[in-house]
Amino acid sequence: MHGTMNYLAEVKSRARRADPKQILPECKSILVLGIPYAPTANSQIASYALGNDYHDVLPQKLQALVDFIEEQLGHSFPNRYYTDTGPLLERELAERAGLGWIGKNTCLINPKEGSTFFLAEILLGIELEPDESFNTDHCGTCTLCIEACPTSCILPDRTLDARKCISYLTIELKEDIPEDLRPFMKDWIFGCDICQQVCPWNRFSQPADSAFKQLIPLPVLTSDLLLTPREFNQRFKNSPLKRPKRRGYLRNLSIAIGNKGDKKDLPMLQKALADEEPMVKAHAKWAIDQINERANHE
């Protein structure tokens, strides 16, 4: 159910995920960290993506932590660190390190912090006394996340069908978004927080690290459809929103506009039909058809 994320199924990748020593042969311990970000109630961009790109921010913090440990020990040691960038089973390691349990929505949940935090890992060539694993499940009979998911991508056995997940569709999928799923995306443009927003444990979520200052103003305006490649690169150079690239961002925005169904957005969509990217044209055309169809039924 991994969709086009073929790296998840590669034999070499699977082997590395099963054995961290294939990444760092000297590995004796793994330090797992949770770094909070500020949750919001918006429904356009996932909260984690409103600030600086964690891929840029966290490696500096991980290196600083390695430097600190080496200073305490008085010598260097083999190490590697990742934050969503290497073949590690991050949530599984975090559960074994005592950070929380893997919830029904497949997110790692901490009883004090909720699930709105990034995960990062440092593979260490030194022995550390292990923390106790988190062996209890606190989801109980709650099924709010499963019931709230617009595309029903959260399955009963704590797995997720990525092919239907709005986060996958708006970020990882590089192709046209299946038409039958577009109406369920509502106004989500990048990622989705619904299963976290309804989770009772997130009432304990804490403010973000100061490094993740909000970069993206909300709401996202229809005028973004006219962003040139240069304007897009400049605006999102420090943001996770650069990942789907300009064509993916405008594709997603077109769907959100179409789902909104406001006739006032038609002139902007008409201009988007002249875009050089076929994907942008196709999804702008879909949005125009959606708005016109809704107008005809009013």
Nearest-angstrom CA–CA distance, 231 and 202? 35
Give the pLDDT band (50/70/90) at residue 209.
low
Nearest-angstrom CA–CA distance, 38 and 95? 22
Nearest-angstrom CA–CA distance, 139 and 145? 10
Domain 221-298: give its CATH superfamily.
Leucine-rich Repeat Variant (1.25.10.10)
Nearest-angstrom CA–CA distance, 142 and 137? 11
Cβ within 8 Å of residue 18, ≥6 positions away: none
Q: pLDDT tens digits, residue range 47-72?
A: 999 999 999 999 999 999 999 999 99
Nearest-angstrom CA–CA distance, 238 and 170? 18
No. of helices (H) and no. of strands (E), the chain: 10, 5
Count CB atoms within 10 A of the CB of residue 189.
30
* Residue boundaries of the structural domains of the chain: 1-214, 221-298
Q: pLDDT tens digits, residue range 124-142?
A: 999 999 999 999 999 999 9
Asked about 84 being catalytic, the answer comes back as yes
DSSP 264: G
Catalytic residue among 19, 56, 67, 84: 84
Mean pLDDT, residues 26-40 taken together: 93
Identify whether the C-beta of residue 24 lies closer than 8 Å to the C-beta of residue 78: yes
